[in-house]
Amino acid sequence: MQNDIEKILISEEQIRNRLKELGKRITEDYRDKDNFLLVGVLKGAIIFMSDLIRHIDLPLQVDFMAISSYGASTESSGVVRILKDLEENVEGKNLLIVEDIIDSGLTLSYMYNILKSRKPASIKICTLLDKPSRRKADIKVDYLGFEIPDYFVVGYGLDYGEKYRNLPYICVLKPEIYQ
């Protein structure tokens, strides 16, 4: 796998330090709220979610939702549907959506609207990565790990054709891999 990597954009140490800060802010912001539920977006957010919650010093629940997005390609189709729904009833809960990356924003905007219609007490968005230059949907990010330029990145949960999720950092693959 190491041979497929062009360059590392965000190191393990940078991720670790940023997650500590995010966890601290989230802990402060949700300290006086109850029914705190983190909603992870499968599969990309699994590693971010599992590391992040260990920096949140509050009682919380986790649940996961799977939404169709790119498949093996690197471009958003705009066609979005629920592949796996939540197990929890979200009514009256304080939701924090945990996403790996926001690109066009179409996937998250769709998910946000579905969750909002289920009458939670509040909804906020936490994303590890953001590519604001590619935005098509209007989305307010409440907690951001890193803003990145318009590269297709993998690692730390993010895949290309279901591979590379287990790399411990965020990186760009060599151009020939994407061909």
Q: In angstroms, how far is the first alpha carbon of the chain from the final one?
A: 16
Task: Tell me which residues in 41-100 interact with Mg ion (CB under 5 A).
Answer: 41, 44, 100
Q: Is 63 tagged catalytic?
A: no
Which of 46, 87, 44 has its CA nearest to residue 68?
Answer: 44
Of residues 58 and 137, the one with the C-beta less far from ligand 5GP: 137
Identify the active-site residue in 51, 100, 103, 130: 103
48 binds ligand 5GP (CB under 6 A): no
Q: How far apart are CA 126 and CA 29, in angstroms?
A: 13
Closest C-alpha to 36, from 18, 11, 53, 50: 53
If the CB atoms of residues 58 and 86 are measured against ligand 5GP, the closer one turns out to be 86
Residue from 10, 96, 99, 171 binding ligand 5GP (CB under 6 A): 99
Across the strands, what pairs with 94?
36, 122
**Distance, CA of 158 to CA of 67 (rounded, Å):** 14
Q: Which residues bind Mg ion (CB under 5 A)?
A: 41, 44, 100, 159
Footprint on this chain of ligand 5GP (rule: CB under 6 A): 44, 69-70, 76, 99-108, 152-154, 158-160
